[in-house]
Chain A
Amino acid sequence: MRLSPDEIIFWQFGLFKLNATIVFTWGLMLVLAVGSKLITRKISTDMRRSHWQNLLEILITGMEKQIEEVGLGQPRKYLGFLGTLFLFVAVASLCTVIPGYEPPTGSLSTTAALALCVFVAVPFFGIAEQGVGDYLKSYTSPTLIMLPFNIISELTRTLALAVRLFGNMMSGAMIVGILLTIVPFIFPIIMTALGLLTGMVQAYIFSILAAVYIAAATRVREPKPQPNAEH
C-alpha cells in the first residue's frame, strides 16, 4: 500500500532520485506554461475571441475579485503568486481523471514546499508594503509579551497548510485504492468524483488562506489618534 507518489522511482543516481512526484510536477508545469503561452499568442480585444481566451479571462477576473474581497487593495500585485498557487493545486487535482496519474500534492514534500513558499512570501509582501521596521514591529502588537506567540502562530499555520493539503490529497487517493480491492464496480467512481470536489475546495482554501495571511501582514496600521490639543 503506497503512501505517496514519492515511492515510485523511475531513475536513480546516487542520492538523486527521479520519482513520480517530480515527473508529474514537471508535467503539470509544462502543461500550464505551454498552454497559457499558446492561448495568449493572439489576444483579441473585440467580441470575437477564442474559447480558451475566454476561459483564461474568466479565471483571471474571478481570482482578482476574490483577492480583492479578502482585503488586499491592489490585487494585481499578488495575482501572480496567489493565482499560481490556486492553478497549480487545482490542475494537480483535476488531472486525476487521467489514468495512471497520481497528484504530486499527495506527497508531503510538494505540500511542504508550497507552504514554505507562503511562509517566505508573507514577510516579503509585508516588508514590501510596510517597510522593515513597521513590519517587524507588527510582531509585537498588541503587546511585547505576544512576540513568541506571534512567531509560533506563523510556524504552526505554515505546518497546518502543508498537512491539510497533503492529508486531503493522500486520503482521496488511498480511499480509491482501498475501495478498488473491496467493491471494484461503481463505488470507486463516486469516491473519485468526491476526490475531485475536495481537491478543488482544497485548492481554493490554500490560496484564500495565503491571501488572508498576506492581507494580515500588509494591513496598514492606522496611526494612533492624536489627543485633542486644548488651548
Chain B
Amino acid sequence: MDNMTFIAVASIVTAGITTAFGTMAPALGEGKAVATALSSLAQQPDASTTITRTLFVGLAMIESTAIYCFVVSMILIFVNPFWNHVIG
C-alpha cells in the first residue's frame, strides 16, 4: 500500500469508528438524564418549568461530546490536512 491509499483507508475507517463509538456514550447519558427528569416531574409537577429547563441545559452539555466526535469525523472526511498534503 502506498502512502495515499494508507492515508485514505485510515481516515475513512477512523471517521466511521469515531462517529460509531462517540455517539453511544452520550446517548446512554441522555437516556438516564431524561429518565430521572421524568420521575422527578411525576413527583413534583409544580416545578415542571425548572426541571424542563435544567433538563434541556443538561442535555445540551451531554450532547456536546457527541458533537466533538462528529466534528472530528467531518474534518477527517472533508478537510483532511494529511490527504490535502499527499494530493497536492
Residues of A within 8 A of B (CB): 1, 3, 160, 163-164, 166-168, 170-171, 174, 201-202, 204-205, 208
Contact = CB atoms under 8 A, between A and B. Distances in A.
A164 to B, nearest CB: 4
B70 A171 contact: yes
Given A205-B60, A208-B57, A171 B79 contact: no
Interface of B: 56-57, 60-61, 63-64, 67-68, 70-71, 74, 78-79
Nearest to A66: B53
B72 to A, nearest CB: 10
Nearest to A167: B67
Given A163-B67, A163-B68, A1 B78 contact: yes
Contacts of A168: 63, 67
Contacts of A201: 56, 60
Given A163-B64, A167-B64, A3 B56 contact: no
B46 to A, nearest CB: 16
A164 B60 CA distance: 9
Contacts of A171: 67, 70
Given A1-B78, A3-B78, A3-B79, A167 B60 contact: no
Closest 7 CB pairs of A and B: A167-B67, A164-B64, A205-B60, A167-B71, A3-B78, A171-B70, A3-B79
